[in-house]
Amino acid sequence: MGARLGIRIAALLVAGLVAGAVLAGTPAAAQEFPVEAGVYLTADEVTYDRESGTVTARGNVEVSRDDRTLLADEITYAQTTDVLSASGNVSLLEPTGEVLFASRVELSGDLKDGIVEDIRVILEDLARIAANGARLSADDTTEMRRAVYSPCDLCPDDPTRPPLWQIKAVKVVHDKKRKMIEYSDAWMEIAGVPVAYTPYFSHPDPTVRRRSGFLAPSVGGSSDLGLIAQVPYYYVIDEHSDLTATPIYTDKEGPLLAAEYRRMFQHGRIEVSGSITEDSEDDVRGHIFGEGRLDIDETWRAGIDVERSSDDTFLRRYGFNQQSEFQQSELTSRVFAEGFRKRNYMAINAYAFQGLREFDDPGTTPWVFPMLDYNHVGEVDRYGGRPSLDANLMALTRTGGTDTRRLSVRGGWQRPFVGAIGDLLSVEASFQGDLYHVDSLDRGGTDGEFSGVTGRFVPQVAMNWRYPLAKTSGTISQSIEPIAQVIVSPYGGNPNAIPNEDSQDFEFDETNLFSTNRFTGVDRVESGPRVNYGLRWGVFGNKGGSTTILVGQSYRLKSDDTFADQSGLDDDLSDIVARAHVSPRGHLDVYYRTRLDKDDLSARRNEVKLSAGPPALRLNADYVFFERQADSEFPAREELTTSVSAQFSRYWRGQVSAKSDLADSEMRSAGLGLTYEDECLVFSTNLTRTFFEDRDLKPTDAILFSVTFKTLGEVATKVQ
């Protein structure tokens, strides 16, 4: 019977198989089989022997039952024994996504129990298991003998060569209910060479996303800490939370315990990490970082951020803070609640800070509680303008130094216009009113210390004008836009009885060129009439390339001594600020920012970011230079960071990096890395040298080798 039948007959015994076809006999013959729903058979040819109760199917045979599908060249089903035999290109598709290949199988009628010869298994993540034989059990276990496991592809030129790595075992059991693959008498081979043996080994199968167990250990060394060894353990508490505990042994400083806890809620989450140790000096050291978020309702959410360390250098010495000395100079803890509704925003915050620099004084480090912020942007009124209102309430307390309580209110109204020639104009009127109560404010000079109530009221009017022009020629579009801003406010907006708590970090650049108040906070305001002007130009290609330039300057009728020397705004005419971004189509991106002295055009600040080249050879460079401003806590800085990465081949890549302090002609750090990665293995080696010193932190050489066996985990060693 040569034509493919593709007919469901829903017949055979309860435990068995159903075959569908036009049988050789009368239609009454088909009625001799009990009806069984959910079983399908298709084949080029199907025959039935009534005397032996045997069904035989040949040619492109496909049998499906209970999410299992069996494919073969030929199958035979014995009704009396409920045994199905299949041979020739046998494939069994499991409900879990696995695919089993074999030369011959004998299965029960429900396709769950049986014997498999010459089995090969493709798991969900495309890893493979091959074995001489296997037994399938109805309890969803597959037991394989003389088995090999590997996710590595075979060499296309010589498939007989062993894969890059593989695990061989006398017995391998895949328990689909527990979702585990277990090995007995197993050894690992790399390029066909045995390198490790274990009597027992197990790992989750690819369907598992979270499972308790030990993670890859690491062993290394440090001139400060001596031998370092750690074995993390990952514990799944429930489907919403987990814990990772990492005991760390150090030869010179004793044991350390690190841990991380995570939990997800329906309307929030918690993440907490920390560590604790008792060092060789019998000092208890450690840290805690935490973050929590809670969505209270559609308007309000609350949160907490915790960053605390036992001392200034612990995080960097034990590797919990890998940032450079220019970055993490303090730890910030916060508790807050904030609400969003239409055009309104309100936040309640409390802050605690911990300085990590040697000269930080805990007595002058403030506690902020409470800090209340309210922001409102109104609807457009009948005159075409839009009102706005900002309010702030803050209480700042120190154990030694100035205490500050502040209430600040800022209101404004803005109205845009379109001119007759297409120019854009907006007018803004605003005011800022501040009320302060301070204790022990050192005003310097002969004014002495001040305690009491003070305040200010600063009205302001601003007019902004822009005239955007555009032109297109072929595939290139250009735009040029002159910009001008006039601001009028009274002089003397910063009496020395008002403390400066939130406006000390100030930098004049192109980002705040057209700001009505360039200070970062509330405590300082710009005063007096002033004019800001600039020019923005851009050229854009229709295939993505672009170049943009912005240059501008500020002029005030009278100098404002609120701005420090070398700030760029300490004279009537400001320094020139500019920005250029060149990104032609291809593998080049250059970003440049500068501030030029108004008198001789010498650079007071330069920043260059360069990225050039294809992935095969990529250069990245970051240059930063700025002068120190008077009364600033930040020193002058000139630094160059470079890296060159190369993709040598499909599997090999490397990188060289360096960071230099050009002001002191010193190297800060240098690194060299080499990585091999294919479908089953990642091997990398990194050599680094750091030159930074800070109290008990010394210059360090380090070399790190790491091996990741994909689907199994990581193994890493480190020597310093």
pTM (2 d.p.): 0.79
Residue 566: which pLDDT band, with cuts at 50, 70 and 90? confident
Residue 386 has pLDDT above 70, yes or no: yes
b/e 626-662 (16+ beta carbons within 10 angstroms → b): bbebeebeeeeebbbbebebbeeeeeebbbebbbbbe
Residue 26 has pLDDT above 60, yes or no: no
Encoding tokens for residue 166? 């593989």
SS3 619: strand
The predicted pLDDT at position 633 comes to: 65
Question: What proportion of the chain, given as a percentage, has pLDDT over 70?
Answer: 91
Q: Share the mean pLDDT of the chain.
A: 87
b/e 185-224 (16+ beta carbons within 10 angstroms → b): ebbbbbeeeeeeeeeebebbbbeeeeeeeeebebebbbee
Name residue, tokens 């299949």: 86
* Cα–Cα distances in angstroms (integers) from residue 186 to residues 198, 209, 681, 682, in the given order: 5, 24, 19, 22
Q: Where are the beta strands (DSSP E) in 564-699?
A: 576-583, 588-596, 603-612, 617-626, 637-647, 652-661, 666-677, 681-690
Query: Omega into 159 within 30° of 0, i.e. cis?
Result: no
| pLDDT tens digits, 673-713 | 999 999 888 888 888 887 878 787 788 777 777 778 888 75
Q: What is the mean pLDDT of residues 52-75?
A: 89
b/e 480-516 (16+ beta carbons within 10 angstroms → b): ebebbbebebeeebbeebbbbbbbbebbbbbebbbeb
Residue 374: which pLDDT band, with cuts at 50, 70 and 90? very high
Q: How far is 492 from 503, CA to CA, in rounded Å?
A: 17
Q: How far is 693 from 52, CA to CA, in rounded Å?
A: 88
Encoding tokens for residue 109? 């009628």
Contact of 614 with 601, CB cutoff 8 Å: no
Phi-psi region of 199 (alpha: psi -120 to 50; beta: other; left: phi over 0): alpha
Phi, psi of 253 (to 5 degrees): -115, 0
What's the sign of the alpha-carbon dihedral 686, 692, 694, 695? positive
Q: How far is 560 from 553, CA to CA, in rounded Å?
A: 16
Q: Mean pLDDT highest for which of 324-328, 478-482, 584-588, 626-630? A: 478-482
Q: How far is 266 from 294, CA to CA, in rounded Å?
A: 9
SS3 253: coil
| pLDDT tens digits, 473-513 | 988 999 999 999 999 999 988 999 999 999 887 889 999 99
Q: How many CA atoms lie within 13 A of 535 on its CB side?
A: 4
Other CB atoms within a 10 A radius of the CB of residue 79 amount to 20
What is the residue extent of each domain of the chain? 27-204
